[in-house]
């Protein structure tokens, strides 16, 4: 089970700070991203799908760091490319952030990322 403090921080925030390792530079890169939490699983949706730099970076180095509300965890990511699964995740983003905002900020819906919080 995920840490209670982390769950509370996730539930009270709309975005997390995602830190990835640059695939070329090897440097840490941190960006804010939207997420959807379902139990002990977090879903991330790359804005430009497989063309998003952070997504390309996690394909090379699948260990990330998430920071939210003063808490921080390191985790391993699982890329999701199955169209049916990605569509379900996009629907979760629409439910949380609104269909108009998801349409405006996420032009590509062909990949997603799963993060297990346990």
Instruction: For tokens 């199955």, name the residue.
Output: 82
Per-residue pLDDT 10s for the chain (118 aa) are 568 899 999 999 999 999 999 999 999 999 999 999 999 999 999 999 999 999 999 999 999 999 999 999 999 999 999 999 999 999 999 999 999 999 999 999 999 999 999 8
How do the domains of the chain map onto residue ranges?
A: 4-116
Global pTM reads: 0.94
Closest alpha carbon to 34 in 98, 88, 83: 98
Instruction: For tokens 């977090």, name the residue.
Output: 42
Q: Are 77 and 58 in contact (CB under 8 A)?
A: yes
> Which fold is adopted by the domain 4-116?
Pnp Oxidase; Chain A (2.30.110)
Name residues whose C-beta falls within 8 Å of residue 101's C-beta, 6 or more positions apart in sequence.
Answer: none
């Amino acid at each position: 089970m995920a840490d209670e403090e982390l769950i509370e921080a996730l539930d009270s925030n709309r975005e997390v700070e995602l830190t990835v390792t640059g695939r070329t530079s090897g440097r840490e890169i941190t960006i804010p991203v939207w997420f959807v939490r379902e139990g002990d699983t977090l879903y991330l949706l790359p804005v430009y799908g497989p063309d998003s730099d952070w997504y390309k970076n996690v394909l090379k180095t699948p260990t990330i760091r998430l920071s939210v509300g003063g808490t921080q965890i390191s985790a391993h990511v699982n890329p999701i490319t199955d169209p049916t699964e990605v569509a379900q995740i996009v629907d979760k983003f629409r439910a949380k952030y609104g269909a108009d905002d998801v349409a405006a900020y996420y032009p590509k819906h062909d990949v997603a990322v799963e993060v297990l919080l346990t």
